Amino acid sequence: MAVDPQIQPLLDRANAVGLPDFGRLTTADMRAGINGMLASFNAGRRPVEGVEARDISLRASPPLPARLYRPSLPAGPAAVLVFFHGGGWVVGDLDTHDVFCRQMAVLIGCTVISVDYRLAPEHVFPAAPEDAIAAVAAVRARAGEFDIDSDRIVVGGDSAGGSLAAVAAQAAATGDVRLAGQLLICPSTDLATPPPAGGSRERLATGYLLTEAEICWYADQYLPAGTDRTDVRASPMFGDLAGLAPAIVATAGYDPVSDDGIRYAEALKRAGTPVEHLHFTSLIHGFNLLDAISAEADRAVRAVAAAVRRLIQPAA
């Protein structure tokens, strides 16, 4: 199947510009370019109705800001999705994923808490996974304050945020936080193993928005020299995958890191962790932010939300 024809014009425009010189690229330039592009996906969109969004702080020092989205819900503690945005651990923020978090709150029917974790290179590994683990613990500890059902906490994220969600889910399984689920959208799960010949990173190295050169640049910003890339906080593939919260893994046919998500879903299944793997053959990395321009991406976002909804429905 070919790339979704509604997404192809976006790829054509990006490919016409060409790749930046990653040897000279500054973090500020990368953030301006990527964050601006992500914001453009939602330009002119009508705000999602029925959501109250407010900024909160999950930790005073070092600061861990977050944004809480609460749709119109029945009285009583609500399920919550603790969400980590994508962006290679370097770019992205609360605003780039604001519309998506609003969509999730409404489509799932739950509270969403989007976490503004620390970014590299100002804060290199393991700052981001430490923040992810701390965020989940803080949400559970403040469940009463946020009117959250502590038995229905789901961690989730896209791309680098999917990696952080996987790390947080593993940490929760070894601690005292019981999760209802984990949502991993186009996750990066292995920064240690060289991409195999013929794999998704080789086949889709250029032309599909996220490129192999960009993936390597992000990893270099995030991981200090000498980092053990098999550390489970960097590569959750190397963690203990048994006994984890049920997982929803969403992958895309034209995503260079799709092998990461596919292999992780398979490894979770082998370890006995329940997995629902959703694969969208015509979509690209970051499809969850493209629902305004692609009917297929919109259907995928709704399928992801429906899968989470099934995990958090109260027992009859």
Which of 255, 259, 260, 291 is catalytic? The answer is: 255
Amino acid (1-letter code) at residue 1: M
> Quick one: angle between helices 127-141 and 160-174, nearest 10?
60
Residues 6+ apart with CB under 8 A from 198: none
**Cis ω on the peptide bond leading into residue 121 (within 30° of 0)?**
yes
What are 56's strand-pairing partners? 66
Tokens of 190: 């292995």
Which of 159, 200, 235, 258 is catalytic? The answer is: 159
Q: Please, are residues 188 and 159 in contact by the beta-carbon 8 Å criterion?
A: yes
User: Is 259 known to be catalytic?
Assistant: no
Q: Please, are residues 160 and 132 in contact by the beta-carbon 8 Å criterion?
A: no
261: phi then psi, degrees, rounded to nearest 5: -70, -40
**CA-closest candidate to residue 183, choices 290, 121, 238, 110:** 110
H-helix or E-strand spanning residue 129: helix 127-141
C-alpha to C-alpha distance for 4 and 104, rounded to whole angstroms: 22
Residues 6+ apart with CB under 8 A from 156: 81, 82, 83, 84, 162, 165, 182, 183, 184, 185, 308
C-alpha to C-alpha distance for 188 and 229, rounded to whole angstroms: 12
Burial of 221 (0-12, 13-18, 19+ CB in 10 A): buried
Q: Please, are residues 182 and 243 in contact by the beta-carbon 8 Å criterion?
A: no
User: Is 285 known to be catalytic?
Assistant: yes
User: Is 159 known to be catalytic?
Assistant: yes
Which of 85, 97, 277, 285 is catalytic? The answer is: 285
C-alpha to C-alpha distance for 288 and 276, rounded to whole angstroms: 17
Active site residues: 159, 255, 285
